[in-house]
Structure formats: C-alpha cells, structure tokens
Amino acid sequence: MVADALSNGYRSIDNAKQYGNEAGVGEGLVKGLADNQLQRSDIFLTTKIFNGDQGDYDKVRTAFNEQLKRLQTDYVDLLLLHWPVFNKYNESWRALEDIYQDGQAKTIGVCNFNVEHMTNLLDHAKVVPMVNQIEFNPRIHQPETVAFCQEHQIQLEAWYPLGNGKMLNNPVIKKIADKHGKTVAQVELRWELQQGIFVIPKTTHVARMKENIDVFRFPIGCR
C-alpha cells in the first residue's frame, strides 16, 4: 500500500508503533523509493511514540531508536506523542526535544492534546509543539483546541478526516459534491484543507488513493 501510494503521488506517510505497521511501512518505502526513483528526502515520514513507552526519558529514546530501525531510516520528518498520557507526557516531551535537537526528527508534535493538555505542556516545554494531530471532520470540530493551536501557530493535522466514512451519505455534502462534480470524500477533504488543516485520509484501495489526492483544483464555500 505504501509503494502504491508513492506511485500515485503521495509523499506524506503517517504510521505509528501502536498501529503495528512500522516494519511494513519501512519495507514499502524502500520499494516505493526504488520503483519511483525517489530520494528519502522526497518523503515526509511521520511516526509516534507509543503510550507504553512514555514517561521515562531513556525509555522514549531507546524505543524511538528501535522504531527507526523498523522504518529503515535514520530520521523521521515528524515525531509525535501519540496520546497525552497522564503524568508522563512532559517527561516524554523532554526526550522529543532532544531527539529534535539531535536531528533524528525534523519536527516534533503531539496527538490528541486538548487545550488543558497543551497549556500544561507549554508551561514546561523548551520547544513549542509544531503539530497537533487531532480528530477533525464534518462531525467533530474541536473548536477550542483548533482556536488554541491557531493562536499559538501550532499546525493542526486531522486524523479520521472522513469521519470513518460516517458522513459519506450526508445529503448536504452530497449536494455540494454534485455541484462541483466531485465525490463527498473529496469535498470533505477540500473543506478541511481550506481551513489550513493537514489531512491524512486512510485507504487500502488504489482508486480511492487517486480520488483522495485529487482535491487541489476546486474551491468550495467555507465558513
């Protein structure tokens, strides 16, 4: 699937230890880079620190080095704390700051942090998180978290940008899609992109990979 994605124009790959897919992503990257005559620097690779590895500085760094081996790379472009594990994420963030300073991660950030988590982290951090990956789609907006991150210039990234498919039959979005000659999924992704939010749609089908990436040539009304 990773090799197929690269062959169809994708250059950003999101994965995590918690998903159990790092080794497969590493293999797919090696194949996809070779098949498409790409360099590692052409790819934006994201992975995440597993909840069970959080809370101890040395454990985070050791676990991350093992993640790099599975991914068959010596750095990632974005490293995230997967969840705000209670009483552990500040110490975990200290490890990410040093991973960033050492060049093993080009950018660092968090996932699923709300305003309370973000405020607490910023009170202790030396490096402000560059990304917050949250659930965001036409059903779930998280306006307080979105406003906080925008105020602090923290880039938002949407997981489940298609709402796990639950809005694909929505009649209002279907009407907008028909107007533009696009699919409901394309309209949902375009709506999120126009708000300055990065999206990471998931699919195992090549046809939908092509559909999901064809969202840059039409504007929609956005409030």
Reference 108, options 85, 131, 89, 84; nearest CA is 131
What kind and span of H or E run contains 158? strand 155-159
Alpha carbon distance 84, 76 (integer Å): 21
Catalytic residue (one of 19, 57, 100, 160): 19
- Token pair in block for residue 35: 């098949």
Neighbours of 76 (CB within 10 A): 25
Residue 57 annotated as catalytic: no
Q: Give the C-alpha separation, 136 to 138, whole Å.
A: 7
Active site residue ranges = 19
